[in-house]
Amino acid sequence: MAKTKMLLMGALLTVASSTFAAPQGAAPTGIDSYEIKEFVADFTQFKIGDRVPAMYLTDEYNITKWQLRNLPAPEAGSRWTYMGGNYVQITDAEGKILKAYNGDIFYHR
């Protein structure tokens, strides 16, 4: 009987401690859960650090109302653009990809 109680107590402590422990490799929350490292646009695979085609540097693709799309403020010297269903932050001068979010961020609440 004492052995059974000790086993039950050990199991209970194990379950209780795992409940309060921070999960290992927990999924990102908030807008971070929409961040992506690579995507496809215009039949091309892009990743952070790549340069976008020149047309995405034009005013036509510049997103000025980024707040309405739940995007963070662009870093100094950069802008938001829309590529292949994704929001992509690029540098103003050379079009280097700094950050990308899945287009579903638009619906984030």
Closest CA to 82 of 33, 108, 46, 49: 46
Q: For the chain, which ranges sit under pLDDT 50? A: 12-13, 15-23
Greatest Cα pair distance in the chain: 77
Residue 8: the pLDDT is: 54
Residue 23: the pLDDT is: 47
Residue 32: the pLDDT is: 85
Helix (H, G, I), strand (E, B) or coil at 75: coil
Walk across the sheet containing 35-36 and list its strands.
35-36, 97-102, 86-91, 78-83
Residue 6: the pLDDT is: 55
Residue 63: the pLDDT is: 96
Residue 15: the pLDDT is: 45
Q: What is the Cα–Cα distance from 57 to 88, expressed in whole angstroms? A: 11
**Identity of the amino acid at 50:** D
